[in-house]
Structure 1
Amino acid sequence: MPPHDCWIIEDEPPALRRLQQLIAQVRPEFNVSFTTDTVNGARKALTERPHPRVIFSDIHLADGLSFQIWENIRCNCPVIFTTAYDQYGIRAFRVNSIDYLLKPIETDALDRALAKLDTLQAPSISPDYGEIARLIQRKEPAYRQRFLAQHRQEWLPVKVEELRQIYSEDSLTFALTTTGQRYLLDETLDRIEEELDPRNWFRINRGQIVHVEAVRKVQPYFNHRLVLDLSPESDRENIVSRQRVKACRAWLGA
Protein backbone atom coordinates (compact mmCIF):
# COMPACT_ATOMS: atom_id res chain seq x y z
CA MET A 1 0.00 0.00 0.00
CA PRO A 2 1.32 3.53 -0.78
CA PRO A 3 3.04 5.20 2.20
CA HIS A 4 0.40 7.92 2.63
CA ASP A 5 -2.75 5.83 2.52
CA CYS A 6 -5.15 6.19 5.46
CA TRP A 7 -8.53 4.82 6.49
CA ILE A 8 -11.43 6.56 8.20
CA ILE A 9 -13.88 4.68 10.41
CA GLU A 10 -16.81 7.02 11.04
CA ASP A 11 -20.61 6.58 11.09
CA GLU A 12 -21.64 10.23 10.81
CA PRO A 13 -21.50 11.48 7.19
CA PRO A 14 -20.94 15.16 8.13
CA ALA A 15 -18.05 14.20 10.45
CA LEU A 16 -16.58 11.97 7.71
CA ARG A 17 -16.71 14.76 5.15
CA ARG A 18 -15.17 17.27 7.55
CA LEU A 19 -12.29 14.94 8.43
CA GLN A 20 -11.62 14.22 4.76
CA GLN A 21 -11.51 17.96 4.09
CA LEU A 22 -9.17 18.59 7.02
CA ILE A 23 -6.81 15.81 5.96
CA ALA A 24 -6.72 17.20 2.42
CA GLN A 25 -5.97 20.64 3.84
CA VAL A 26 -3.30 19.61 6.34
CA ARG A 27 -1.69 16.75 4.37
CA PRO A 28 -2.68 16.88 0.70
CA GLU A 29 -0.34 13.96 -0.02
CA PHE A 30 -2.55 11.66 2.09
CA ASN A 31 -5.01 9.42 0.29
CA VAL A 32 -8.16 8.22 2.08
CA SER A 33 -8.29 4.77 0.49
CA PHE A 34 -11.05 3.22 2.60
CA THR A 35 -13.96 4.31 4.79
CA THR A 36 -16.56 2.38 6.77
CA ASP A 37 -19.18 3.13 9.39
CA THR A 38 -19.23 -0.23 11.16
CA VAL A 39 -17.14 -2.47 13.39
CA ASN A 40 -17.75 -5.40 11.06
CA GLY A 41 -16.70 -3.44 7.99
CA ALA A 42 -13.44 -2.40 9.64
CA ARG A 43 -12.67 -5.92 10.88
CA LYS A 44 -13.27 -7.33 7.40
CA ALA A 45 -10.96 -4.73 5.84
CA LEU A 46 -8.20 -5.42 8.38
CA THR A 47 -8.28 -9.13 7.55
CA GLU A 48 -8.48 -8.72 3.77
CA ARG A 49 -6.59 -5.53 2.85
CA PRO A 50 -3.02 -4.28 3.31
CA HIS A 51 -3.01 -2.09 6.40
CA PRO A 52 -2.71 1.68 5.88
CA ARG A 53 -0.19 4.06 7.35
CA VAL A 54 -2.76 5.33 9.87
CA ILE A 55 -6.40 4.76 10.80
CA PHE A 56 -8.71 7.56 11.94
CA SER A 57 -11.48 6.05 14.02
CA ASP A 58 -14.58 7.32 15.77
CA ILE A 59 -15.53 5.34 18.90
CA HIS A 60 -19.32 5.13 18.65
CA LEU A 61 -20.13 3.30 15.40
CA ALA A 62 -23.31 2.03 13.80
CA ASP A 63 -22.92 -1.47 15.27
CA GLY A 64 -20.92 -0.92 18.47
CA LEU A 65 -17.78 0.62 19.95
CA SER A 66 -14.73 0.71 17.72
CA PHE A 67 -12.60 -1.00 20.38
CA GLN A 68 -14.27 -4.22 19.23
CA ILE A 69 -12.49 -3.86 15.89
CA TRP A 70 -9.13 -4.80 17.33
CA GLU A 71 -10.31 -7.73 19.42
CA ASN A 72 -8.48 -10.85 18.19
CA ILE A 73 -7.13 -9.02 15.13
CA ARG A 74 -3.44 -8.27 14.74
CA CYS A 75 -2.92 -4.70 13.63
CA ASN A 76 0.26 -2.70 14.15
CA CYS A 77 -0.67 0.45 12.26
CA PRO A 78 -1.24 3.57 14.41
CA VAL A 79 -4.74 4.76 15.26
CA ILE A 80 -5.91 8.34 15.79
CA PHE A 81 -9.24 8.35 17.60
CA THR A 82 -11.78 11.03 16.74
CA THR A 83 -14.72 11.32 19.14
CA ALA A 84 -17.08 13.67 20.95
CA TYR A 85 -16.53 11.91 24.28
CA ASP A 86 -13.49 12.18 26.50
CA GLN A 87 -14.16 9.26 28.87
CA TYR A 88 -12.48 6.68 26.62
CA GLY A 89 -9.00 8.24 26.68
CA ILE A 90 -7.13 5.55 28.62
CA ARG A 91 -8.91 2.70 26.86
CA ALA A 92 -8.04 4.20 23.48
CA PHE A 93 -4.32 4.12 24.15
CA ARG A 94 -4.43 0.36 24.63
CA VAL A 95 -5.03 -0.24 20.91
CA ASN A 96 -2.11 1.36 19.05
CA SER A 97 -3.46 4.88 19.48
CA ILE A 98 -1.07 7.79 19.05
CA ASP A 99 -3.62 10.55 19.65
CA TYR A 100 -7.17 11.22 20.79
CA LEU A 101 -8.92 14.11 19.05
CA LEU A 102 -12.13 15.54 20.47
CA LYS A 103 -14.81 16.71 18.06
CA PRO A 104 -15.21 19.19 16.57
CA ILE A 105 -11.68 18.52 15.32
CA GLU A 106 -9.57 21.60 14.76
CA THR A 107 -6.93 21.95 12.06
CA ASP A 108 -4.13 22.53 14.57
CA ALA A 109 -5.03 19.42 16.56
CA LEU A 110 -5.02 17.26 13.44
CA ASP A 111 -1.71 18.75 12.34
CA ARG A 112 -0.14 17.91 15.72
CA ALA A 113 -1.47 14.36 15.57
CA LEU A 114 0.01 13.82 12.12
CA ALA A 115 3.29 15.34 13.30
CA LYS A 116 3.39 12.56 15.90
CA LEU A 117 2.84 10.09 13.12
CA ASP A 118 5.76 11.54 11.21
CA THR A 119 8.09 11.05 14.15
CA LEU A 120 6.89 7.54 14.92
CA GLN A 121 9.88 5.26 14.42
CA ALA A 122 8.60 1.97 15.79
CA PRO A 123 5.31 0.47 17.01
CA SER A 124 6.71 0.31 20.52
CA ILE A 125 6.93 4.07 20.97
CA SER A 126 5.60 5.06 24.40
CA PRO A 127 2.44 7.17 24.47
CA ASP A 128 2.52 10.54 26.22
CA TYR A 129 0.59 9.67 29.39
CA GLY A 130 0.86 13.24 30.64
CA GLU A 131 -1.00 14.40 27.56
CA ILE A 132 -3.56 11.65 28.01
CA ALA A 133 -4.24 12.90 31.54
CA ARG A 134 -4.61 16.48 30.30
CA LEU A 135 -7.09 15.36 27.64
CA ILE A 136 -9.20 13.50 30.17
CA GLN A 137 -9.25 16.53 32.49
CA ARG A 138 -10.54 18.85 29.75
CA LYS A 139 -13.86 20.50 30.40
CA GLU A 140 -15.78 19.20 27.37
CA PRO A 141 -18.92 17.32 28.41
CA ALA A 142 -18.22 13.62 28.76
CA TYR A 143 -21.81 12.55 28.32
CA ARG A 144 -24.68 13.24 25.96
CA GLN A 145 -26.17 16.70 26.42
CA ARG A 146 -29.12 16.65 24.01
CA PHE A 147 -31.04 14.58 21.50
CA LEU A 148 -32.64 15.48 18.21
CA ALA A 149 -36.15 14.17 18.85
CA GLN A 150 -39.22 13.84 16.65
CA HIS A 151 -42.57 15.30 17.70
CA ARG A 152 -45.36 15.00 15.14
CA GLN A 153 -43.76 16.16 11.87
CA GLU A 154 -40.92 18.15 13.44
CA TRP A 155 -37.45 17.35 14.77
CA LEU A 156 -36.59 19.28 17.93
CA PRO A 157 -33.42 19.52 20.07
CA VAL A 158 -34.26 18.23 23.55
CA LYS A 159 -31.89 18.57 26.50
CA VAL A 160 -31.06 15.38 28.37
CA GLU A 161 -31.68 17.18 31.67
CA GLU A 162 -35.34 17.58 30.62
CA LEU A 163 -35.85 13.81 30.26
CA ARG A 164 -36.93 11.33 32.92
CA GLN A 165 -37.43 8.06 31.02
CA ILE A 166 -36.14 6.53 27.79
CA TYR A 167 -37.72 3.28 26.66
CA SER A 168 -38.34 1.02 23.70
CA GLU A 169 -41.78 0.11 22.45
CA ASP A 170 -42.73 -1.73 19.25
CA SER A 171 -39.10 -1.55 18.05
CA LEU A 172 -39.06 2.24 18.50
CA THR A 173 -37.26 4.37 21.11
CA PHE A 174 -39.15 7.03 23.05
CA ALA A 175 -38.18 9.66 25.62
CA LEU A 176 -40.46 11.04 28.31
CA THR A 177 -39.84 14.55 29.66
CA THR A 178 -40.39 15.98 33.14
CA THR A 179 -43.80 17.26 31.96
CA GLY A 180 -44.88 13.92 30.47
CA GLN A 181 -44.25 14.94 26.85
CA ARG A 182 -43.23 11.96 24.70
CA TYR A 183 -40.67 12.20 21.89
CA LEU A 184 -39.40 9.69 19.34
CA LEU A 185 -35.61 9.15 19.24
CA ASP A 186 -33.79 7.73 16.23
CA GLU A 187 -31.28 5.68 18.27
CA THR A 188 -31.17 2.35 20.08
CA LEU A 189 -31.29 1.96 23.85
CA ASP A 190 -27.90 0.22 23.81
CA ARG A 191 -26.23 3.23 22.21
CA ILE A 192 -28.11 5.76 24.33
CA GLU A 193 -27.15 3.94 27.53
CA GLU A 194 -23.46 4.29 26.66
CA GLU A 195 -23.82 8.06 26.24
CA LEU A 196 -25.70 8.91 29.46
CA ASP A 197 -24.14 9.82 32.80
CA PRO A 198 -24.48 6.65 34.94
CA ARG A 199 -24.77 8.77 38.06
CA ASN A 200 -28.13 10.04 36.79
CA TRP A 201 -29.38 7.23 34.57
CA PHE A 202 -29.90 3.51 35.09
CA ARG A 203 -31.19 0.79 32.79
CA ILE A 204 -33.71 -1.05 34.94
CA ASN A 205 -34.51 -3.69 32.30
CA ARG A 206 -33.83 -4.44 28.64
CA GLY A 207 -36.35 -1.89 27.46
CA GLN A 208 -36.20 1.02 29.91
CA ILE A 209 -33.70 3.60 31.22
CA VAL A 210 -34.78 5.94 34.04
CA HIS A 211 -33.46 9.12 35.62
CA VAL A 212 -32.73 9.08 39.35
CA GLU A 213 -34.94 12.12 39.93
CA ALA A 214 -37.89 10.28 38.39
CA VAL A 215 -37.89 7.68 41.19
CA ARG A 216 -40.45 8.52 43.88
CA LYS A 217 -40.69 5.15 45.58
CA VAL A 218 -39.26 1.62 45.39
CA GLN A 219 -41.32 -1.43 46.28
CA PRO A 220 -40.55 -5.16 46.33
CA TYR A 221 -41.98 -7.24 43.51
CA PHE A 222 -42.38 -10.97 43.11
CA ASN A 223 -39.46 -13.17 42.03
CA HIS A 224 -37.01 -10.93 43.96
CA ARG A 225 -37.51 -7.97 41.65
CA LEU A 226 -38.36 -4.33 42.32
CA VAL A 227 -41.03 -2.03 40.96
CA LEU A 228 -40.45 1.72 40.77
CA ASP A 229 -42.99 4.47 41.26
CA LEU A 230 -41.89 7.09 38.71
CA SER A 231 -42.76 10.68 37.98
CA PRO A 232 -44.16 11.58 35.56
CA GLU A 233 -46.49 8.60 35.53
CA SER A 234 -46.97 6.41 32.47
CA ASP A 235 -48.67 3.13 31.64
CA ARG A 236 -45.40 1.20 32.01
CA GLU A 237 -44.82 -1.22 34.89
CA ASN A 238 -41.29 0.08 35.68
CA ILE A 239 -40.01 -3.30 36.89
CA VAL A 240 -36.32 -3.72 37.73
CA SER A 241 -35.17 -7.05 36.30
CA ARG A 242 -33.85 -9.57 38.79
CA GLN A 243 -30.24 -9.41 37.62
CA ARG A 244 -30.21 -5.59 37.93
CA VAL A 245 -31.73 -5.28 41.42
CA LYS A 246 -28.44 -5.14 43.34
CA ALA A 247 -26.93 -2.55 41.00
CA CYS A 248 -30.13 -0.51 41.07
CA ARG A 249 -30.13 -0.40 44.88
CA ALA A 250 -26.51 0.75 44.83
CA TRP A 251 -27.32 3.40 42.21
CA LEU A 252 -30.25 4.80 44.17
CA GLY A 253 -28.22 4.85 47.39
CA ALA A 254 -25.10 6.48 45.89
Structure 2
Amino acid sequence: MKYLIIEDESLAAERLQEKIQELKPDWNCLAIYGTLKELQENLAQAEADIAFVDIHLGDGSSFKALESLDIKMPLIFTTAYDQYAIRAFKLNSIDYLLKPIHIDDLKKAIQKFESQSLDNPQNLDWSQILKELKPSYKERFLVAHGEKLKTVNCADIAYFHASGKHCFLVDAEGHEYLVDQNLKDLLEQLNPEQFFQINRQYIIHLEYLDELLSYSKSRLKVIMKPALPEEGIVSAERSARFKAWLQGETKK
Protein backbone atom coordinates (compact mmCIF):
# COMPACT_ATOMS: atom_id res chain seq x y z
CA MET A 1 0.00 0.00 0.00
CA LYS A 2 1.36 3.42 -0.99
CA TYR A 3 0.61 6.64 0.88
CA LEU A 4 1.44 10.35 1.03
CA ILE A 5 1.86 12.69 3.99
CA ILE A 6 0.95 16.37 3.64
CA GLU A 7 2.39 18.13 6.70
CA ASP A 8 4.36 21.36 7.05
CA GLU A 9 6.07 20.46 10.33
CA SER A 10 8.89 18.02 9.59
CA LEU A 11 8.92 16.54 13.09
CA ALA A 12 5.16 15.89 13.00
CA ALA A 13 5.53 14.28 9.57
CA GLU A 14 8.35 12.04 10.79
CA ARG A 15 6.36 10.96 13.84
CA LEU A 16 3.30 10.17 11.75
CA GLN A 17 5.39 8.15 9.32
CA GLU A 18 6.97 6.22 12.19
CA LYS A 19 3.54 5.37 13.61
CA ILE A 20 2.26 4.25 10.21
CA GLN A 21 5.32 2.06 9.70
CA GLU A 22 4.86 0.57 13.15
CA LEU A 23 1.30 -0.42 12.29
CA LYS A 24 1.88 -1.21 8.62
CA PRO A 25 5.55 -2.06 7.99
CA ASP A 26 4.75 -3.14 4.42
CA TRP A 27 3.27 0.26 3.50
CA ASN A 28 5.41 2.59 1.41
CA CYS A 29 5.53 6.36 1.90
CA LEU A 30 5.88 7.83 -1.59
CA ALA A 31 6.53 11.41 -0.46
CA ILE A 32 6.06 14.04 2.23
CA TYR A 33 4.84 17.44 1.03
CA GLY A 34 4.85 20.51 3.22
CA THR A 35 3.22 23.31 1.22
CA LEU A 36 0.00 24.05 -0.65
CA LYS A 37 2.02 24.44 -3.83
CA GLU A 38 3.43 20.93 -3.48
CA LEU A 39 -0.03 19.57 -2.65
CA GLN A 40 -1.56 21.21 -5.73
CA GLU A 41 1.23 20.05 -8.02
CA ASN A 42 1.41 16.45 -6.84
CA LEU A 43 -1.68 15.14 -5.06
CA ALA A 44 -4.08 14.69 -7.98
CA GLN A 45 -1.68 12.67 -10.14
CA ALA A 46 0.07 10.79 -7.34
CA GLU A 47 -0.12 7.00 -7.60
CA ALA A 48 -0.94 6.62 -3.92
CA ASP A 49 -3.71 4.63 -2.28
CA ILE A 50 -4.31 7.10 0.55
CA ALA A 51 -3.04 10.46 1.82
CA PHE A 52 -2.75 11.92 5.31
CA VAL A 53 -3.41 15.66 4.97
CA ASP A 54 -2.81 18.40 7.54
CA ILE A 55 -5.70 20.89 7.41
CA HIS A 56 -3.54 23.97 7.97
CA LEU A 57 -0.26 24.28 6.11
CA GLY A 58 2.12 27.18 6.48
CA ASP A 59 0.90 28.83 3.29
CA GLY A 60 -2.85 28.23 3.61
CA SER A 61 -5.72 25.79 4.09
CA SER A 62 -5.53 22.42 2.35
CA PHE A 63 -9.30 22.60 1.79
CA LYS A 64 -8.83 25.51 -0.59
CA ALA A 65 -6.43 23.48 -2.71
CA LEU A 66 -8.72 20.44 -2.72
CA GLU A 67 -11.54 22.46 -4.30
CA SER A 68 -9.63 22.65 -7.57
CA LEU A 69 -8.17 19.12 -7.63
CA ASP A 70 -9.48 15.86 -9.04
CA ILE A 71 -8.77 13.61 -6.06
CA LYS A 72 -8.74 9.89 -6.75
CA MET A 73 -7.81 8.58 -3.32
CA PRO A 74 -9.26 8.55 0.20
CA LEU A 75 -7.92 11.24 2.51
CA ILE A 76 -7.42 11.22 6.26
CA PHE A 77 -7.17 14.73 7.66
CA THR A 78 -5.08 15.75 10.64
CA THR A 79 -5.71 18.82 12.78
CA ALA A 80 -4.55 20.22 16.09
CA TYR A 81 -7.91 21.83 16.82
CA ASP A 82 -11.23 20.02 16.84
CA GLN A 83 -13.35 22.94 15.62
CA TYR A 84 -12.98 21.35 12.19
CA ALA A 85 -15.24 18.53 12.34
CA ILE A 86 -16.16 16.92 11.40
CA ARG A 87 -19.65 16.30 10.55
CA ALA A 88 -18.61 16.96 6.94
CA PHE A 89 -15.80 14.41 7.13
CA LYS A 90 -18.13 11.69 8.34
CA LEU A 91 -20.84 12.58 5.83
CA ASN A 92 -18.29 12.08 3.07
CA SER A 93 -16.73 8.90 4.51
CA ILE A 94 -13.52 10.76 5.29
CA ASP A 95 -11.75 10.23 8.59
CA TYR A 96 -9.70 12.66 10.64
CA LEU A 97 -7.07 12.50 13.37
CA LEU A 98 -6.76 15.01 16.18
CA LYS A 99 -3.20 16.06 17.02
CA PRO A 100 -1.20 14.92 18.86
CA ILE A 101 -1.95 11.73 16.95
CA HIS A 102 -2.26 8.65 19.14
CA ILE A 103 -1.40 5.33 17.60
CA ASP A 104 -4.74 3.79 18.64
CA ASP A 105 -6.63 6.50 16.74
CA LEU A 106 -4.37 6.04 13.74
CA LYS A 107 -4.97 2.29 13.85
CA LYS A 108 -8.75 2.80 13.82
CA ALA A 109 -8.52 5.21 10.88
CA ILE A 110 -6.41 2.76 8.89
CA GLN A 111 -8.78 -0.09 9.72
CA LYS A 112 -11.68 2.04 8.50
CA PHE A 113 -9.82 2.73 5.26
CA GLU A 114 -9.08 -0.96 4.78
CA SER A 115 -12.62 -2.09 5.55
CA GLN A 116 -14.44 0.33 3.27
CA SER A 117 -13.49 2.01 0.03
CA LEU A 118 -14.97 5.24 -1.26
CA ASP A 119 -17.11 4.52 -4.30
CA ASN A 120 -16.30 7.76 -6.11
CA PRO A 121 -13.71 9.74 -4.16
CA GLN A 122 -13.00 11.93 -7.17
CA ASN A 123 -16.58 13.20 -7.05
CA LEU A 124 -16.45 14.57 -3.52
CA ASP A 125 -17.87 18.10 -3.44
CA TRP A 126 -15.19 20.07 -1.63
CA SER A 127 -17.19 23.29 -1.92
CA GLN A 128 -19.99 21.62 0.03
CA ILE A 129 -17.52 20.27 2.57
CA LEU A 130 -16.23 23.79 3.13
CA LYS A 131 -19.77 25.01 3.69
CA GLU A 132 -20.36 22.24 6.21
CA LEU A 133 -17.27 23.26 8.14
CA LYS A 134 -18.27 26.21 10.26
CA PRO A 135 -15.32 27.01 12.49
CA SER A 136 -16.09 28.98 15.62
CA TYR A 137 -13.04 31.01 16.50
CA LYS A 138 -11.90 31.55 20.03
CA GLU A 139 -13.33 34.66 21.67
CA ARG A 140 -11.22 34.85 24.83
CA PHE A 141 -8.33 33.28 26.69
CA LEU A 142 -8.05 32.37 30.36
CA VAL A 143 -4.69 33.51 31.75
CA ALA A 144 -2.96 33.65 35.11
CA HIS A 145 -2.61 37.09 36.70
CA GLY A 146 -0.56 36.69 39.84
CA GLU A 147 -2.47 34.27 42.03
CA LYS A 148 -5.71 34.97 40.18
CA LEU A 149 -7.13 33.96 36.83
CA LYS A 150 -8.62 36.41 34.35
CA THR A 151 -10.04 36.34 30.84
CA VAL A 152 -8.66 38.38 27.96
CA ASN A 153 -10.95 38.94 24.98
CA CYS A 154 -9.38 38.35 21.58
CA ALA A 155 -10.40 41.87 20.61
CA ASP A 156 -8.05 43.12 23.34
CA ILE A 157 -5.04 41.01 22.29
CA ALA A 158 -2.39 42.98 20.41
CA TYR A 159 -0.17 40.02 19.56
CA PHE A 160 1.24 36.67 20.62
CA HIS A 161 4.96 36.02 20.69
CA ALA A 162 7.14 32.98 21.15
CA SER A 163 10.24 33.12 23.30
CA GLY A 164 12.25 29.94 23.67
CA LYS A 165 9.87 27.15 24.63
CA HIS A 166 7.21 29.56 25.87
CA CYS A 167 4.46 31.57 24.22
CA PHE A 168 2.97 34.82 25.51
CA LEU A 169 -0.15 36.88 24.96
CA VAL A 170 0.22 40.67 25.06
CA ASP A 171 -2.90 42.77 25.56
CA ALA A 172 -3.74 46.28 24.37
CA GLU A 173 -2.14 47.82 27.46
CA GLY A 174 1.11 45.91 27.02
CA HIS A 175 0.49 43.37 29.80
CA GLU A 176 2.06 39.99 29.06
CA TYR A 177 0.60 36.60 30.01
CA LEU A 178 1.93 33.09 29.52
CA VAL A 179 -0.23 30.80 27.35
CA ASP A 180 0.14 27.04 27.27
CA GLN A 181 0.07 26.60 23.48
CA ASN A 182 2.44 27.11 20.57
CA LEU A 183 1.88 29.63 17.78
CA LYS A 184 0.63 27.09 15.25
CA ASP A 185 -2.05 25.77 17.61
CA LEU A 186 -3.04 29.33 18.53
CA LEU A 187 -3.33 30.34 14.88
CA GLU A 188 -5.90 27.62 14.21
CA GLN A 189 -8.12 29.06 16.95
CA LEU A 190 -7.90 32.71 15.92
CA ASN A 191 -10.05 34.51 13.38
CA PRO A 192 -7.88 34.81 10.23
CA GLU A 193 -9.52 38.12 9.39
CA GLN A 194 -8.00 39.60 12.54
CA PHE A 195 -4.77 37.68 13.17
CA PHE A 196 -1.75 36.85 11.00
CA GLN A 197 1.48 35.02 11.76
CA ILE A 198 4.21 37.23 10.33
CA ASN A 199 7.11 34.90 11.19
CA ARG A 200 8.08 32.12 13.59
CA GLN A 201 7.99 34.52 16.51
CA TYR A 202 4.82 36.62 16.19
CA ILE A 203 1.09 36.45 15.51
CA ILE A 204 -0.24 40.00 15.28
CA HIS A 205 -3.73 41.54 15.53
CA LEU A 206 -4.62 43.85 12.65
CA GLU A 207 -6.21 46.46 14.92
CA TYR A 208 -2.91 47.05 16.72
CA LEU A 209 -0.74 47.42 13.63
CA ASP A 210 0.55 51.00 13.79
CA GLU A 211 2.93 51.19 10.82
CA LEU A 212 4.18 49.02 7.98
CA LEU A 213 7.63 49.70 6.55
CA SER A 214 9.63 48.34 3.63
CA TYR A 215 12.63 46.31 4.75
CA SER A 216 15.61 44.70 3.05
CA LYS A 217 15.38 41.68 0.73
CA SER A 218 11.66 42.09 -0.07
CA ARG A 219 10.71 41.85 3.59
CA LEU A 220 8.41 44.11 5.61
CA LYS A 221 8.68 45.54 9.10
CA VAL A 222 5.64 45.98 11.32
CA ILE A 223 5.35 48.53 14.11
CA MET A 224 2.81 47.55 16.74
CA LYS A 225 1.12 49.41 19.59
CA PRO A 226 2.04 48.24 22.15
CA ALA A 227 5.55 47.66 20.82
CA LEU A 228 6.96 44.22 20.09
CA PRO A 229 9.84 43.07 22.33
CA GLU A 230 12.00 42.61 19.21
CA GLU A 231 11.74 43.75 15.58
CA GLY A 232 8.70 42.36 13.79
CA ILE A 233 9.97 41.37 10.36
CA VAL A 234 7.59 39.75 7.89
CA SER A 235 9.63 37.06 6.17
CA ALA A 236 10.02 37.33 2.40
CA GLU A 237 7.97 34.18 1.76
CA ARG A 238 5.05 35.61 3.80
CA SER A 239 5.15 39.20 2.53
CA ALA A 240 2.83 38.71 -0.45
CA ARG A 241 0.24 36.86 1.65
CA PHE A 242 0.55 39.49 4.37
CA LYS A 243 -0.19 42.29 1.90
CA ALA A 244 -3.16 40.33 0.58
CA TRP A 245 -4.38 39.80 4.15
CA LEU A 246 -4.21 43.54 4.80
CA GLN A 247 -6.54 43.96 1.81
CA GLY A 248 -9.08 41.51 3.17
CA GLU A 249 -7.93 38.09 1.95
CA THR A 250 -8.01 35.64 4.84
CA LYS A 251 -5.80 32.64 4.14
CA LYS A 252 -3.98 31.58 7.28
Please tell me the TM-score bracket, short chain as reference.
Answer: 0.5 to 0.7
Matched, 1:63 2:59: yes
Specify whether residues 124 and 44 from structure 1 end up closer, same or farther in structure 2 by C-alpha distance, changes over 3 A only: closer
Higher relative contact order, chain-length normalized (CA < 8 Å, sep 6+) = 2
Paired with 1:18 and 1:145, the residues of 2 have a C-alpha distance of 32
Identify the match of residue 174 of structure 2 among 176, 180, 186. 180
Q: Answer yes or no: is the 8 Å Cα contact 1:57–1:66 preserved in 2.
A: yes
The question of whether the paired residues in 2 share the 8 Å contact of 1:60 and 1:66 is answered with yes
CA shift in 2, pair 1:67/1:51, >3 Å: farther
Among 7, 12, 22, the alignment partner of 2:9 is 12
Distance 1:160 1:23 in 2: 40
In the TM superposition, what is the alpha-carbon distance from 1:51 to its structure 2 partner?
Answer: 3.3
Q: CA–CA distance in 2 between the matches of 1:113 and 1:68?
A: 23
| Cα pair distance change 1:143/1:203, threshold 3 Å | closer
Gaps of 5+ in 2: 122-132, 142-149, 161-167, 197-203, 209-224, 228-246
Equivalent residues in 2 for 1:49-198 (5 A)?
49-90=45-86, 93=89, 98-124=94-120, 161=152, 164-166=156-158, 176-177=170-171, 180-181=174-175, 194-196=188-190
Runs ≥4 in structure 1, deviation > 3 angstroms?
A: 94-97, 142-146, 159-164, 191-194, 207-211
Given the two structures, how large is their TM-score scaled by the length of structure 1?
A: 0.54
Note the aligned Cα RMSD (angstroms): 4.5
1:103 partner amino acid:
K
**Pair 31,202 (structure 1): closer, same or farther in 2 beyond 3 Å:** closer
**Aligned amino acid, residue 49 of structure 2:** R
Q: Which has the larger radius of gyration?
A: 1
User: Is the contact made by 1:11 and 1:61 (CA closer than 8 Å) also made in structure 2?
Assistant: yes
CA distance 1:97–1:59, change in 2 (3 Å): farther
Say if 1:182 and 1:67 are closer, same or farther in 2 by CA, change over 3 A. same
Distance (Å, rounded) in 1 between the aligned partners of 2:11 and 2:195: 34
Could you list the per-position Cα deviations for residues 136-194 of structure 1 after superposition, in whole angstroms to 9, with x for gaps in the alignment? 9xxxxx85999xxxxxxxxxxxx9959743359xxxxx9633761479xx979xx9665
What is the alpha-carbon distance in structure 2 between the residues aligned to residue 144 and residue 36 of structure 1? 32
Q: Deviations over 1:19-77 (max 9, x none)?
A: 01100101111111111111111110024x43311000111101101102211211120
- Relative distance call for 1:80 and 1:65 in structure 2 (3 A) is same
Shift in Å, 1:82? 1.1
Contact 1:77 1:96 in 2 (8 A): no
Whichever residue aligns with residue 20 of structure 2, its letter is I
What runs of 5+ residues in structure 1 fail to find an aligned partner? 126-135, 137-141, 147-158, 169-173, 212-232, 236-242, 245-254
When residues 179 and 35 of structure 1 are mapped into structure 2, their CA distance, relative to the original with a 3 A threshold, is same
- Given that 2:55 and 2:78 are in contact with CA atoms closer than 8 Å, whether structure 1 keeps it comes out as yes
Cα–Cα, structure 1 residues 177 and 166, in superposed 2: closer, same or farther, change >3 Å?
A: closer
Contact 2:50–2:73 (8 Å) recurs in 1: yes
Give yes or no for the alignment of 1:36 onto 2:45.
Answer: no
